[in-house]
Structure 1
């Protein structure tokens, strides 16, 4: 049997206030005065001097603020790469992504596309990247997506929503500072945390499960229960610390396995309706009792305890063409279905079943 030899993030620093060490961490990686560091920062921090004032720019270093109102697109990455190439004297020393999962995915994709020819859409898939990307650093300001540790980026292209899944995608350095998550709105905190919980459920119940992914999945699962169901409420700091570690473990749990039905179907929601990944996963998972009975029961208990109301009727007004596009997008993600239902998954799920599930959402 051939076992996959996956790369992991080689360097990680964890701790409250560790963001202050960013400059000393990246300084040895500077290639020259004309090779800047490019900071890709979620534009919610544009007026947040508490964070931005601690980014120390030298020489031609530059901050590019990016809106993550919409899911990341391949064309967005292409435009950023062109802008960086035209505005720098030499190839940058590195890309530093600061933000939630969308921002981290954009940073990973930009680092790859600065060293690989062509358009980003050509690299959507598994192991299509030929050259190592630029040195890239991930600094999450949300906990749950696992983007800080995964070997994929989630991008919407002209024809599909699919990541650049490669050995060159993972960050070279990750900085985990739970303090950076302190201003996350409550609903977003829940939706992103549930992304992590769903990672663990889909990994633990998948046919790809092994001792490696199981150990990480169980840790993420237990930490999410502590954060979202604990009757003796944790302090805000404890919850931030635990959820950041849950995110890391949830991401690790799918490195050597895979996600499942909720992710496949939420990709469809995102591709057709532009629904963001975290809330999309929640909308889908809420209807998947048939496939993940225990996980969905726990999810509903967490939703009730946290006072979260999910949007209703998001697929009600879809026309036939939109519904077909959503179903087609979901079914393209074959590894996710195989993990969820086994090698004969096509016999166990149909377009008609998916349509019935979507219409409940």
Structure 2
């Protein structure tokens, strides 16, 4: 079903995924309006969308996701909300109160504003990390929405994303003031890569400092399935179309879906090498130290940081749970999203890799200049 004439809200519209989703909406749907919500919106973001906006109105909304009155203003008259905003933190560097306030309370306030303002559809951007891996490092290969798994979340990030997702799904079918009912669903993308991915660029920058040799932090057999940002945006569009369709709504409403694509299953480290190798980067053959020793070192760092906590807050560069995540086979199929949402990846692995590598190449001069400046 088309979103023609709809008014869509995109929170986090200036982020990595947000900008890609806004552009896709402009290219494929004749919307009445897209409301770009973020803490700060650069004029450049609006200007770069000018070539594909057509008659769609682009409206910037700058504000805090924790401001309920502001959120009601953003949602007033809207039909679809894409909630992308969250603090992403895999090092537990952000204070718990801050990440909870943004990721959980912000999502709850946005849900409440959506209900109060008669929004029909609410799509929440979750993460694969709400599933795990658990502290035992138990693997999942080609998991589905029905996969049973003993999950033990360690990061505040994964905990808050899980709670926000649960609140979103519980709000499905809530009665709206106008007599209609809210439809919600949650999308769980794998690790997202592509043009603009700051994590990927960070690994490449480390490789530059290491003489164009990427660090290996994951074993080759710890295979995962990253997903291209363009395909994640397409998954969001299909979710909105499905919730607006009375027939598909009964299938998708109140459910979560894994979003992956046909990117080969490789370890995180080998994926970094796959997209950087055409630019002359090599990769370490082995982990810097055996994995068991790595865990011991992480334990010592965590213990030292805990002892220092009464005097100074120090964040260890690597925690045991992150090391487990990097070294656990953990992959999921997109067949559920294909069946219920009509999602099919728009970009092949070859095209996604080419686009990503070209973007990295465009950033290399800046990264090398930063290194020389130091």
TM-score of the superposed pair, with normalisation by structure 2: 0.29
Q: Higher strand share goes to which structure?
A: 2
Higher relative contact order, structure no. (Cα contacts within 8 Å, ≥ 6 residues apart): 2
TM-score of the superposed pair, with normalisation by structure 1: 0.30
